[in-house]
């Protein structure tokens, strides 16, 4: 919700940095930083494709590196105060291959600034961001898109900041494409104009799957089963609207020969298409009430309780090495209740279970 505010602060900071610090030094630092991130993003993006072409013995983790993270780094990166400082990294031959090739491309880009490699890193950033980020609710998505709609218009039309930073920025944080056969005449599409609508489109396809599960009276699941076909009206409609929005942006840019805020066109196209699809299908209320993960977690919790009451094999993890399960005969004990755990064993309903 605060992304437009933080984005404005970051954008203005870059503008001031390029104004008062050497642009060469700024691009050197940012290219190095984003280039290293791009190597990881590109490797993780292509790895599933590479794994599908390699035999299993090359994709299984056969190597590992263990080390203890220094105390200073633990304070910076640890999510919890008592987090284990020991790090164990496992990797395979396919990891070595994809990271090696990605690092080679990163070196070529740092030396030549070749725009094709630049775009490869940019696309990888977009794919990983869309894969990792979820907005959970359509109401949150609509508010975020509205905020970014205003953000984009203000910084492009209201000031020179956005255009100045975009033209000065050499790091892979945008997509560069030719506007004509003139090699010096290029268009720029910010990664935010891909990532933000992409996250919204991802929300739409998961809502498609959710509605299909409800119609077929199956329990909703969090992960979309790509192998099983299901109707995708929201996904298809919003994706087409996004493409039309991009085309409109390009046409307006060519007609007026001026930079255009892409979200000025992408937000209305995608949002109104999603709302129109929901209204035409009588699912507007379902859309606004939809929350990713909430129903799925409740359903899994209910299923776990039902299995425990029936005495089915539902393991309870006490420590990483100790598991306790309910008795197979439900007449003896209806459910498992953990009383205490000690070095001599685990006490269940007052009876010791030796480990």
Q: What is the pLDDT tens value at each position of the chain, 355 positions in all?
A: 678 889 899 999 999 999 998 888 998 999 899 999 999 999 999 999 999 888 888 888 878 788 777 766 666 666 666 666 777 788 888 999 999 999 999 999 988 888 899 999 999 999 999 999 888 899 999 999 999 999 999 999 998 999 899 888 888 888 988 776 666 677 888 899 999 999 999 999 999 999 998 888 766 655 565 567 889 999 999 999 999 999 999 899 888 888 889 999 999 999 999 999 999 999 999 999 999 876 555 555 666 556 555 555 444 444 443 444 444 444 444 444 444 444 444 434 444 444 3
pLDDT confidence of residue 345:
42
Task: Read off the pLDDT of residues 123-146 as tens digits, 9 standing for 90 and up.
Answer: 999 999 999 988 889 999 999 999
Q: Say whether 152 is catalytic.
A: yes
pLDDT confidence of residue 268:
96
pLDDT confidence of residue 247:
94
Tokens standing for residue 26: 């700024």
C-alpha distances in Å from residue 146, one per residue of 126, 153, 178: 20, 11, 30
Alpha-carbon distance of 231 to 81, in angstroms, equals: 46
pLDDT confidence of residue 315:
47
How far, in whole angstroms, is CA 31 from its chain's centroid?
22
CB 203 within 8 A of CB 141: yes
| Backbone phi, psi, residue 223, to 5° | -90, 130
Give the closest residue to 305 by CA, choosing from 347, 336, 339. 336
Q: Phi-psi region for residue 242, left (φ > 0), alpha (ψ -120 to 50) or beta? A: alpha
pLDDT confidence of residue 283:
94
Catalytic residue among 51, 170, 193, 208: 193
Q: Is 343 helix (H, G, I), strand (E, B) or coil?
A: coil
CB 258 within 8 A of CB 294: no
Give the closest residue to 214 by CA, choosing from 321, 315, 289. 289
Task: Read off the pLDDT of residues 250-280 as tens digits, 9 standing for 90 and up.
Answer: 899 888 888 889 999 999 999 999 999 999 9
Degrees (nearest 5) of the Cα angle 106, 112, 117?
A: 45
CB 325 within 8 A of CB 332: no
Q: Is 124 helix (H, G, I), strand (E, B) or coil?
A: helix
How far, in whole angstroms, is CA 200 from its chain's centroid?
11
Catalytic residue among 152, 170, 297, 329: 152
CB 121 within 8 A of CB 170: no
Q: Say whether 182 is catalytic.
A: no
pLDDT confidence of residue 295:
54
Tokens standing for residue 79: 């999510």
């Amino acid at each position: 919700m605060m992304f437009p505010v933080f984005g404005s602060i970051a954008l203005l900071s870059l503008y001031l940095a390029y104004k008062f610090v050497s642009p060469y030094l700024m691009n050197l630092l940012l290219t190095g930083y984003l280039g290293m991130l791009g190597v990881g993003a590109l490797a993780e993006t292509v790895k599933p494709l590479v794994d599908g072409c390699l035999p299993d013995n090359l994709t299984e983790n056969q190597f590992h590196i263990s080390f203890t993270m220094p105390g200073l780094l633990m304070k910076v990166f640890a999510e919890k105060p008592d987090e284990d400082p020991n790090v164990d990294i496992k990797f395979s031959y396919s990891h070595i291959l994809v990271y090696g090739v990605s690092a080679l491309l990163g070196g070529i880009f740092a030396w030549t600034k070749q725009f094709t490699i630049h775009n490869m890193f940019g696309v990888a950033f977009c794919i990983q961001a869309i894969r990792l980020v979820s907005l959970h609710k359509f109401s949150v998505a609509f508010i975020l898109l509205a905020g970014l709609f205003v953000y984009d218009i203000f910084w492009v039309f209201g000031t020179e900041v956005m255009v100045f930073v975009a033209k000065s920025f050499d790091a892979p944080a945008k997509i560069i494409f030719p506007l004509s056969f003139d090699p010096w005449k290029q268009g720029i599409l910010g990664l935010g104009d891909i990532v933000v609508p992409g996250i919204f489109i991802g929300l739409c396809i998961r809502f498609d799957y959710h509605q299909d599960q409800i119609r077929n009276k199956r329990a909703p699941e969090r992960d979309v089963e790509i192998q099983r076909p299901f109707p995708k009206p929201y996904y298809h409609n919003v994706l087409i609207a996004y493409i039309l929005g991009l085309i409109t942006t390009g046409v307006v840019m060519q007609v007026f020969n001026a930079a255009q805020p892409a979200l000025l066109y992408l937000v209305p196209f995608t949002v109104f298409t999603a709302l129109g699809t929901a209204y035409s299908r009588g699912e507007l209320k379902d859309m606004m009430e939809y929350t990713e993960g909430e129903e799925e977690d409740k359903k899994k919790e209910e299923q776990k309780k039902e299995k425990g009451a029936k005495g089915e094999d539902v393991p309870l993890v006490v420590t990483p090495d100790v598991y306790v399960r309910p008795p197979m005969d439900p007449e003896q004990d209806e459910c498992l209740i953990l009383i205490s755990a000690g070095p001599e064993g685990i006490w269940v309903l007052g009876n010791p279970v030796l480990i």
